[in-house]
C-alpha cells in the first residue's frame, strides 16, 4: 500500500475479537486473504456513514478504483493515517 508524503501511519487492530471498527476519511482498510494464493485487498475510506467513525463506509479499492459501500468484517484492519507536523 502506498504511503503519502507528509503522513505517518500506524496499524490498529480494529474489528477483531468484538472490538468495534472506527475509521475516518483517508484511512486505509486492509482485508486479509481468506485462502492461500488470494490477494490481500485494500481500500481508502472516502465517506463515513456511521456515527463516531463506525461503518458503513464508502471506499475506493486500490486494485480497481471502484467505489463501494463496505461494512468490514473480522478479516479487516484499519490503518489510520495522521498528518505529520511540518
Convert the pLDDT of each residue in 28-67 to its tens digit. 999 998 889 999 999 999 999 999 999 999 999 999 999 9
- Give the domains, in start order, of the chain with CATH numbers: 7-83 (2.30.30)
Give this prediction's pTM. Answer: 0.72
pLDDT of residue 45: 97
Q: How confident is the model at residue 18 (pLDDT cuts 50, 70, 90)?
A: low
**Long-range contacts at 31-34 (CB < 8 A, ≥ 24 apart):** 31/72, 31/73, 31/75, 31/76, 32/75, 32/76, 32/77, 34/75
Amino acid at each position: 500500500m502506498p504511503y503519502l508524503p507528509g503522513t505517518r501511519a500506524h496499524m490498529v487492530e480494529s474489528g477483531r475479537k468484538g472490538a468495534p471498527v472506527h475509521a475516518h476519511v483517508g484511512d486505509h482498510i486492509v482485508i486479509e486473504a481468506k485462502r492461500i494464493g488470494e490477494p490481500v485487498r485494500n481500500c481508502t475510506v472516502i465517506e463515513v456513514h456511521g456515527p463516531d467513525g463506525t461503518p458503513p463506509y464508502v471506499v475506493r479499492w486500490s486494485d480497481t478504483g471502484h467505489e463501494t459501500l463496505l461494512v468490514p468484517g473480522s478479516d479487516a484492519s484499519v490503518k489510520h493515517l495522521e498528518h505529520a507536523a511540518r
